[in-house]
Structure 1
Amino acid sequence: MAQAQDRRSMGARAIRGVLNCARDTDIFPLLSIGLAFCWAIDLTIDGRAAKGFMVGAVALLGAAYLWGFFARNRIDARLTLMADRADEALGQPEHEAPASDSLDRLSNHIDARIAHARSVDHRAAQRHGITRLPTREPLIEAIAAHDEGGVLGIVELCDFDRLCAFDIALADQVLNDVAARLLRMVGDARFLAHVDRARFAIWYGGSSDGMARQEFDAICYALRSRIQLGELDMLPQIRAACVIQDQVPFEPAALLARTIAALSDSRAPQISVHGGQAMDIARRSFLLEQDLRQAVARNELELWFQPFIDATTARTCGAEALLRWRHPQHGLIAPNQFIPIMEIAGLADEIGLWTLNAGCREAREWARQGLGAVKVAINLSAHQLEGSDLDRIVERTLQRHDLPAHCLELELTETVAAVDSVEATRLFGKLRAMGVSISIDDFGAGYSSLSYLKKLKFDKLKIDREFVTDVDRQGDSQAICQSIIALGRGLGIAVLAEGVERPEEYAWLRRHGCDLFQGFYFSRPLEAAAFPAFARDRETVRRLTDLTPVALQRRLTKSVS
């Protein structure tokens, strides 16, 4: 046993000696593994193997050294070739002395590339990754260079996110096309920047308000022209806002923030305000949003109702529910002030559900008061339509208020109705199967294709007021209204003219085949408590729908006086 231990001790000392010799060479890892393996074997055999073990260890050391020698030569040759190619392609790095060693030469080139990347890093951060236009920081610097103020305009491509939803590469191409158009129109005279995902800013430093606004309006108009990229043929939806900064001194970053806020808070395609106004608009919008978030809980919302008139029966056949907000400090707030805030703040679902419940509750009350089958029309937003459970929500609401489905009509704007998808087809089919009517509001003022009328089934088209106003003396409006009336008749869809304000408009539309009407000529929107009395007043409706010469003369005389 003692002899075996001595042999093991001798073997261990020999291995440590070999390892010490190899530690300074490139073959140390390989020798470590090999000798450790031999040592493990030696621990399991008798002493007669000790001599063979040492011979094997020395042989392994020699083989490893020869392998390392030839491998090193091959690596050195490869490094020399790589260094030569780097010298040929990149030249001698600046501020570096020529190096004879291949590894040093490659190291010099790598250090030079890293230094160059660091030197241009700030430029890359100030250029948009897609359009290569300057970004926010260079814009702020350009604005700050004009102490006298100027005009800041922002243009937004509204289609960008919708395109990204199904083809990111295509969305980037459209974004680049818009950027290229802007570059051609703006040129070097103005500072153009890409400040957000799909928003571009144009700074008119030191320019007169009138000239800058005219130029900006012209650019926005031109941007709405058709884009054709491969199979894509689209008319881009553009929103724009410009803020006139005529108060000095001012903060450039604050001016940019106010302009973006003016763009976000407005649903109009284009808005122009002064710097002070932009600040007031942003502040008022923010405070209204905070109050609107609590309006449902505080019971501040109301529904008013504007009657639908059936001229064939001279009766009120329904009403559109119009949302109103009675603010405790500001009184009644106009819908065009809070509806955009509602949509931007993500409150459309909550307030839309409240509207649906309140409208169905009022319609049930009308039936209880003996008004008969008077429909209530509720407007749906795009947010509500995107929900996968809208049909179940409608069904539960009807059951909760014990309202027959044929007493409910859901109104969609033309753009929302034009959503061409399997889900929309399924949803509309389920709603109509319940007995709920679906109508298209503002028909003719939105989406330009009629293909959705074939794919999606509707019960009513509402002619937009833009074509109804002065239809009795506008030839182009007459042609459009006649076409819509004929279209509805051919598809078996009812047609309603909204925005009728004058007896002449009503008379022309009635003579050309329109039977359903809505507008100030018949009634302004009524509070919920006043609507039943109007619906019972058949005499007033009969008088307003009478087209006999005597009745027409009476109404014309009254309108003139």
Structure 2
Amino acid sequence: MAVTDQGVGPPLDAGSPNMHVSDDVSGLRLYQAVARYRLLGYQGKILAAVFLGIHLPLITLALWVALDRTADWSVWLQTLAVALAATLVGTGLTLWVLHHLLRPVTLTSQALRRFRDTRERLSLPVHYTDQVGTLMADTHETLAHLEQALHALEFVDAATGLPNRKRFARELQQRIAQGEVFAVAVVRFSNLSRIAGTMDVERAESAARAVALRLGAMPAFALALSRIGPSKFGCVLLPVAGDATPWASAAARLRAALDACCDEILIGEFAFKPVLQGGLSAYPDDGADAEQLIDAAVHAASLAQAGDPVVQHSAKARQASLEHFRLEQDLRRALEREEFVLHYQPVFDLAAGRAVGAEALLRWQHPERGLLLPGAFIGAAEASGLIEPIGLWVLRQACAQVRDWNGQGLAGLRMAINVSARQFLNPLLKDQVLAAIARCNLSPAQLEIELTETAAMADHAHTHRVFTALRDAGVGISIDDFGTGYASMSYLRKLPFDKLKIDREFVTDVHQTRPSQAICSALIALARGLGLRVLAEGAETASEVNHLAQQGCDLFQGYFFARPVPAADFAQAMAMPVGLAEPARPAGLRVSRRAATGA
């Protein structure tokens, strides 16, 4: 058997370059047998072997010679005493010699243990030429290589050769300990992830190296330039003596340096223009330790935009971001804890003289902040991607409410549901809508999907495809906030939808504001010409309602009629106000049969 890298293996062939290893197998086995006795140390075991192998046979031989020559027991005892004394002297001398001969082994063992436990490298002599001396020299050299390798792993970025975040933080902490005043600059390579996603990580690291070389060549980044993250670099900026606004000046220097580093980078056959954003934090204003300063500068860099590529840290902006983050966390829990509720605002038809539908409006019953309107959380829901599961919950809940109203004798009401731009792009939207209708056993005509004008124009082909599929299934389609976007009239007329909603911006004080009167009149005429119904939202006074009714608008929604209410109060909110003008029916305008019969 032979000792291999994997342990004990099959016998080695004669002439093998590793044949010499097998010569020590018996020695290893003997060592394993002796090593089981832990009462004696390494030196003690050698002394025991010497005593058993040399001194004990010599004592036995001396006693045998003495007993062979005389039968006098006193001579035998004297011989035994002399032999034991000689053995003790020899053993002591052997012990003294072994102590010094094995000292290199002991030092090597201590050095290895110290490096393993504390990363401290002890100095070993390297000038001896025997086997033990070679062991020390090899150990000394190996520990030096290990120390360099571990230092590189712990403190150096492998791709760029720059110090990493841990080394950068140590540099900052040393400056803080010395009482220096300085700023931390962070450069964010914001589109680096695009290279990694579209090409590969190796090319992304190549781009990072190229940017690191450019930054290193700039005087602004000369101090402690480090790579503190996959797409982030950091450095130290010192204030200029006598400068009244040192950090504003530092931001200007950083801005100029970034501008000089944004030329195209060649990555293989592609030319790639890096987008670099900078953030600045100052000690001691923006943090008391290294990690706080780095985090503050990273946050500032994340707020940078194309028009302003360098941002100084702001405590207010940081607090706002933290609040936004907490809001996202609360939103995730809100879905799980069923904290969302729907309120319903009636839609009134003046010609019919009654409420003909409702709009489902989302509310959040926050456990600490109370009832929140969408403006307080929709932005966070869209940014975090939670808008889709929330929108699906609204769809299902609203359909379930229509089912309940049908069972309570309020049949025929049409429920309008707002769909976010992100939810509208979901290829499963049609299936989700039809599944919710089928589960609640509703007529498709009792559901209306509302989409803002801006979202409808984002992807013309997709909008036309989804609108057509939903309308063919019998679902109503409404364009919300009409007049606030930039829809092309030539394209708008090609979309299959049923209703235009005039934004409250034009409805407010329309009876006394000429621009609003002109816009509303044009929108109403446009809707009638396209065979659409038109709804004015946000109506708060009788004057607004009467003015728009005279122009031909017959569907209204707003505080004048009813505020959004919980489902339990909706029947009371359906009461029609009295004393309103009848909606005008301008001659010569075409109204589709479907628009005339639906809400």
The normalised TM-score by structure 2 is: 0.50
Q: Distance in 1 between matches of 2:238 and 2:580?
A: 60
Q: Which residue of 377, 400, 416 maps to 1:377?
A: 416
CA shift digits 1:382-420 (9 cap, x unpaired): 222212221111111101011111110000011111134
CA contact 1:149–1:248 (8 Å) conserved in 2: no
Task: Report the counterpart of residue 106 of structure 1 in structure 2.
Answer: none
Map 1:15-414 onto structure 2 (within 5 A).
Answer: 122-124=212-214, 248-249=285-286, 254-255=295-296, 257-259=298-300, 275-414=314-453
CA contact 1:522–1:544 (8 Å) conserved in 2: no
The Cα shift of 1:126 comes to 7.6
Task: Report the counterpart of residue 434 of structure 1 in structure 2.
Answer: 473
Q: Distance in 1 between matches of 2:580 and 2:238?
A: 60
3-state DSSP class of the match of 2:362?
strand
The Cα shift of 1:256 comes to 5.0
Task: Report the counterpart of residue 498 of structure 1 in structure 2.
Answer: 537
Residues 468/534 of structure 1: CA separation in 2 closer, same or farther (3 Å cut): same
CA shift digits 1:162-202 (9 cap, x unpaired): xxxxxxxxxxxxxxxxxxxxxxxx9999887699x998869
5+ residue gaps, structure 2: 1-206, 218-226, 263-272, 306-310, 584-599
CA shift digits 1:187-220 (9 cap, x unpaired): 999887699x9988699x9xxxxxxxxxxxxxxx
The Cα shift of 1:508 comes to 1.5
The Cα shift of 1:275 comes to 2.5
Residues 487/425 of structure 1: CA separation in 2 closer, same or farther (3 Å cut): same
Q: Distance in 2 between matches of 1:261 and 1:478?
A: 44
Matched, 1:464 2:499: no
Q: Distance in 2 between matches of 1:382 and 1:331?
A: 27
Q: Distance in 2 between matches of 1:493 and 1:544?
A: 26
Identity %: 39
Q: Distance in 2 between matches of 1:246 and 1:477?
A: 54
Map 1:416-455 onto structure 2 (within 5 A).
Answer: 416-455=455-494
CA contact 1:415–1:447 (8 Å) conserved in 2: yes
The Cα shift of 1:451 comes to 3.2
3-state DSSP class of the match of 1:306?
strand
Task: Report the counterpart of residue 97 of structure 1 in structure 2.
Answer: none
CA shift digits 1:471-521 (9 cap, x unpaired): 122221111111111110100111111111222222211111111111111
5+ residue gaps, structure 1: 1-116, 128-134, 154-185, 206-243, 265-271, 549-561
Residues 249/497 of structure 1: CA separation in 2 closer, same or farther (3 Å cut): same
CA contact 2:297–2:313 (8 Å) conserved in 1: no
Task: Report the counterpart of residue 586 of structure 2 in structure 1.
Answer: none
CA contact 1:410–1:439 (8 Å) conserved in 2: yes
Q: Distance in 2 between matches of 1:494 and 1:371?
A: 22
Amino acid at match of 1:482: S
Amino acid at match of 1:486: A
The Cα shift of 1:254 comes to 4.5
Amino acid at match of 2:489: L
Amino acid at match of 2:346: P
Residues 467/141 of structure 1: CA separation in 2 closer, same or farther (3 Å cut): farther
CA contact 2:254–2:278 (8 Å) conserved in 1: no
CA contact 1:471–1:478 (8 Å) conserved in 2: yes
Q: Distance in 1 between matches of 2:401 and 2:523?
A: 31
Task: Report the counterpart of residue 486 of structure 1 in structure 2.
Answer: 525
CA shift digits 1:241-285 (9 cap, x unpaired): xxx999934577545544566789xxxxxxx99933222211111
Task: Report the counterpart of residue 80 of structure 1 in structure 2.
Answer: none
Q: Which residue of 554, 570, 580 maps to 1:515?
A: 554
Q: Distance in 2 between matches of 1:335 and 1:143?
A: 46
3-state DSSP class of the match of 1:523?
coil
Q: Distance in 1 between matches of 2:282 and 2:563?
A: 40
Amino acid at match of 1:388: P
CA RMSD of aligned residues (A): 4.1
Q: Which has the larger radius of gyration?
A: 2
Task: Report the counterpart of residue 545 of structure 1 in structure 2.
Answer: 580
3-state DSSP class of the match of 1:529?
helix
Q: Distance in 1 between matches of 2:208 and 2:469?
A: 60
3-state DSSP class of the match of 2:510?
coil
The Cα shift of 1:301 comes to 0.5
Amino acid at match of 1:248: D
The Cα shift of 1:320 comes to 1.1
Task: Report the counterpart of residue 531 of structure 1 in structure 2.
Answer: 570
Task: Report the counterpart of residue 164 of structure 1 in structure 2.
Answer: none
Residues 407/142 of structure 1: CA separation in 2 closer, same or farther (3 Å cut): farther
Residues 344/433 of structure 1: CA separation in 2 closer, same or farther (3 Å cut): same
3-state DSSP class of the match of 1:277?
helix
Q: Distance in 2 between matches of 1:393 and 1:152?
A: 54
CA contact 1:461–1:488 (8 Å) conserved in 2: yes
Q: Distance in 2 between matches of 1:303 and 1:511?
A: 33
CA shift digits 1:50-101 (9 cap, x unpaired): xxxxxxxxxxxxxxxxxxxxxxxxxxxxxxxxxxxxxxxxxxxxxxxxxxxx
The Cα shift of 1:344 comes to 0.8
3-state DSSP class of the match of 2:511?
coil
Q: Distance in 2 between matches of 1:152 and 1:319?
A: 57
CA contact 2:328–2:381 (8 Å) conserved in 1: yes
CA contact 1:261–1:282 (8 Å) conserved in 2: no
CA contact 1:140–1:253 (8 Å) conserved in 2: no
Paired residue total: 343
Q: Distance in 2 between matches of 1:485 and 1:436?
A: 23
More displaced, 353-362 or 515-524? 515-524
CA shift digits 1:312-344 (9 cap, x unpaired): 122111111111111112211231121111111
3-state DSSP class of the match of 2:335?
coil
CA contact 1:318–1:375 (8 Å) conserved in 2: yes
3-state DSSP class of the match of 1:303?
strand
CA contact 2:283–2:293 (8 Å) conserved in 1: no
Q: Distance in 2 between matches of 1:118 and 1:413?
A: 41
The Cα shift of 1:309 comes to 1.2
